[in-house]
Homo-oligomer: A and B are copies of this chain.
Amino acid sequence: MDTRFDVLGIGNAIVDVLARAEDDFLAKQGMAKGSMALIDEPRAQSIYDAMGPATEASGGSAANTIVGVASFGGRAAFVGKVKDDELGRAFTHDIRAAGVAFDTPPASEGPSTARCYVLVTADGERTMNTYLGAAQDLHPNDVDEATITSASIVYLEGYLWDPPQAKEAFRKAAKIAHGAGRKVALTLSDAFCVGRYRDEFLNLMTTGAVDLIFANESELHSLYETSDFDTALAALRKDVKLGVVTRSEKGCVVISGGETVAVPAAPIDKLIDATGAGDLFAAGFLVGHARGADFGTSARLGGLAAAEVIQHLGARPLTSLKALAQEQGLLK
């Protein structure tokens, strides 16, 4: 069956509220640098009151990935829940204007559109505080069979395990995708998220509900509760058909059965803001993989997109990734 989309992403629909911060602001606020913390509305207000002047930009991990897929010229769709408020309308505008099909109906009542307070320190590291708001109300009914079956790869973020009903939407989407012979990919999202849902994630892998896992080193170590990279990689190789492990400036490793492909990181001039690095790596890899590129080429596409996004403030590409990839001879 033909596909309408290369990649369909399901994730928390979030607007980022970005500001620069000093290390001692993080300390005073009790934030663990580099992490993502879930916060409630009073805490969101208290962080916002204390932080510096900010800018607002659409974010959300899988949403960033899907926008990256579209920037590569991939056919892309997204499923996620906003409220029908100003930030929700901004999220909707931005993802559609990036060329992504996005038709999940917004909530007309309940909590406001999700916000992530992103504090970027001088070293380029980002520390995130997420108020899930309306994203918590993503429901299995928001997952439409016809849309799921029309995508080569369904891509899900581990963060979806946080909102109570979203994991059911996730399971439903995976089942539909496999029923139609499509692939299901999952990012482990972050090491703390893995800590919260380790057994469930491992179960998704070993039962074959997920075909492709994206993880960075700390997520992988958290998943297998080991500090030894080779031990963790061997376990991943056994548990999933295709594993892609990103290692920041050390590049990435792709494993599949007995096969191993290591690709160095794309060079950068200066790290400005690490927000979106993993999301955009996944975008490049997924575009390559959906279109039948080999692992090495797919990983290079991922590295290219990650390098673009970490050299400016914000989690979505500011230039055409398709043009960048064509310059490098990675895409036609």
Q: Which chain A residues have a beta carbon within 8 Å of chain B's beta carbons?
A: 19-20, 48-49, 51-58, 67, 85-87, 90, 93-95, 97-98, 112, 314, 316, 318
Contacts and interface: CB of A to CB of B under 8 A. Distances in A.
Given A20-B318, A86-B86, A318-B20, A56 B55 contact: yes
A67 B52 CA distance: 12
User: Which of A51, A52, A90 has most chain B Cβ within 10 Å?
Assistant: A90
A318 B314 CA distance: 14
A48 B316 CA distance: 19
A10 to B, nearest CB: 20
A86 B51 CA distance: 17
11 contacts: A52-B97, A52-B98, A53-B93, A53-B316, A54-B90, A54-B93, A55-B55, A55-B314, A56-B56, A86-B87, A86-B112
Given A20-B318, A48-B93, A318-B20, A53 B98 contact: yes
User: Which of A49, A57, A85, A314 has most chain B Cβ within 10 Å?
Assistant: A57
Nearest to A70: B53
Name the 8 nearest CB pairs between A and B, nearest first. A56-B56, A86-B86, A53-B94, A55-B57, A53-B97, A52-B97, A53-B98, A55-B55
User: How many copies, total?
Assistant: 2
Contacts of A53: 58, 67, 93-95, 97-98, 316
Contact of A97 (B51, B56, B112): B51
A56 B318 contact: no
Contacts of A87: 86
A112 B58 CA distance: 21
User: Which of A51, A94, A112, A314 has most chain B Cβ within 10 Å?
Assistant: A94
Nearest to A89: B48
A52 B67 CA distance: 12
A271 B32 CA distance: 37
Given A20-B318, A85-B86, A94 B54 contact: yes
Nearest to A52: B97
Nearest to A115: B86
Nearest to A87: B86
A55 B58 CA distance: 7
Given A54-B97, A55-B314, 15 more contacts: A19-B97, A51-B97, A52-B97, A53-B67, A53-B93, A53-B94, A53-B97, A53-B98, A53-B316, A54-B90, A55-B56, A55-B57, A56-B57, A86-B86, A86-B112
Contacts of A58: 53
Contacts of A52: 97-98
A90 B56 CA distance: 9
